[in-house]
């Protein structure tokens, strides 16, 4: 009974996985059909000793913490504010969700246009007000900040949406009782709302974390990893290794490294959910 489903799962998931593992132990040539040359642990040794890959992991780490952190904080704050609205809630929510429906590559293009020093509206405004007088995408710190903010702009609404769902499912009787007992907003937030929505917050965190690890589109369109490798996250390095340098075996090892990191992060969050009794 389960066999057809297992076969489909194997075809679309397990076979590619084992194929990539196989590739990571080979040098792969594409000319005249794919061919493999056994190189043992060479690609894996390089993965752990390559300073370029190490620097990309560091950039990815900074990027990961900044984007996921900002998205969670802003998403929760916006959700709490929207939840308190008495009228116009649906309209506001619809407008807030719009960025989420834009393709990431379009967000990158939009961001690039807005911060371009020749015709960018944001660049013009920031320069006129004296807030930023240098080239935003041409300087290391501001380039990283810019791509982080583009991601935050696009995906904060997703966190808002998930948290709002959690807020909407809270038992109103408990909140009413707290209010009658004289608990102010902050007290209710800390002692009632936070514990009640912590499960969905962890889910939002899990979803955004998985996505942030494989972040590629916006950086590819805006900075291409520069300046001075300041925005070269690990997916950009992976793409470059696979499709620019044609080192598919080494790229497979990098990709498996990303997969291992994703599994670690997912396990961490699942453990938190289990501890809260929200997952089995």
Partner 1 sequence: MASSRAHRGGNSAFGGISRRDFLRIGGAGLAGASLFGLAGCGESDSQSGGEGWKQYKGMTLNFISENTAPTSAIAANLKPFKDLTGIDVKINQLELGALVQKVSLDVSSGDPQIHVIYADPYQVLAPFSAAMADLNKFNEDDSLPSVQKGVGDFIPTQLAAAGRFEDEEALYALPYDCPTMIWMYRKDLFDKYGQQMQQDLGFDPMPSEQITWDQYFRIAQWFNENADEVSYGTGHQAKQYDSLMCDFSNILWSYGGDYFENGEQVGRIGTQEPGPAMLDQDGALEAAEFYNRLVGIAHPGSTSWDWTALDEAFRAGEVAMAPNWHEFAAGVESSDLGGKVAYERLPGGPTRSASMWGGTGIGINGELSEDEQRAAWLFLVWATSPETQLSGLKSDVGGGTPTRQSIYEESEVQQARQRPSDMPNILTYEAVSKAWDPENIGLRPKIEKWNECDTVIFTELSKMLAGDKSPEQAMQAAKEGFDQANGV
Chain contacts with partner 1 (rule: CB under 8 A): 30-34, 116-119, 134-140, 143, 223-230, 240, 243-246
Nearer to partner 1, 135 or 211 (CB): 135
Q: How far is the CB of 52 from partner 1 (least distance, A)?
A: 9
Looking at the Cβ atoms of 138 and 171, the one nearer to partner 1 is 138
Q: Which CB sits closer to partner 1, 52 or 187?
A: 52
The residue among 79 and 253 lying less far from partner 1, judged by its C-beta, is 253
Work out how close the CB of 26 gets to partner 1 at its nearest, in angstroms, rounded to a whole number: 14
Lookup: tokens for 223: 């900075």
> Residue 34 Cβ, how far from partner 1 at the closest point, in Å?
5
- To partner 1, the closest distance from the beta carbon of 68 in angstroms equals 25
Residue (31 or 186) nearer to partner 1, CB: 31
The nearest distance, CB 194 to partner 1, in angstroms, is: 42
């Amino acid at each position: 009974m389960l066999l057809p489903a297992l076969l489909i799962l194997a075809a679309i998931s397990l076979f590619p996985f084992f194929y990539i593992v196989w590739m990571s132990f080979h040098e792969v040539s594409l000319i005249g059909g794919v061919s493999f040359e056994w190189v043992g642990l060479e690609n894996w040794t390089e993965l752990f000793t390559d300073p370029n890959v190490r620097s990309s992991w560091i950039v990815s780490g900074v990027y990961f913490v900044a984007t996921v952190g900002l998205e969670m904080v802003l998403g929760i704050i916006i959700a709490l504010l929207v939840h308190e609205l008495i009228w116009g809630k649906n309209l506001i929510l619809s407008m807030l969700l719009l960025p989420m429906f834009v393709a990431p590559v379009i967000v990158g293009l939009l961001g690039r246009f807005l911060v371009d020093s020749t015709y960018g509206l944001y660049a013009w405004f920031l320069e006129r007000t004296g807030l930023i007088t240098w080239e935003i995408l041409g300087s290391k710190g501001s380039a990283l900040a810019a791509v982080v903010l583009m991601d935050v702009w696009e995906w904060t609404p997703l966190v808002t949406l998930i948290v709002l769902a959690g807020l909407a499912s809270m038992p109103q009787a408990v909140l009413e009782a707290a209010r009658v007992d004289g608990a102010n907003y902050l007290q209710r937030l800390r002692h009632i709302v936070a514990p009640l929505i912590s499960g969905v917050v962890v889910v939002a965190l899990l979803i955004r974390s998985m996505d942030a690890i494989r972040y590629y589109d916006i950086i590819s369109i805006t900075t291409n990893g520069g300046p001075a490798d300041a925005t070269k996250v690990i997916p950009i390095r992976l793409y470059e290794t696979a499709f620019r340098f044609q080192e598919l075996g080494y790229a497979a090892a990098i990709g498996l490294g990303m997969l291992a990191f994703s599994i670690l992060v997912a396990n961490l969050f699942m453990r938190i959910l289990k501890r809260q009794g929200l997952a089995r």
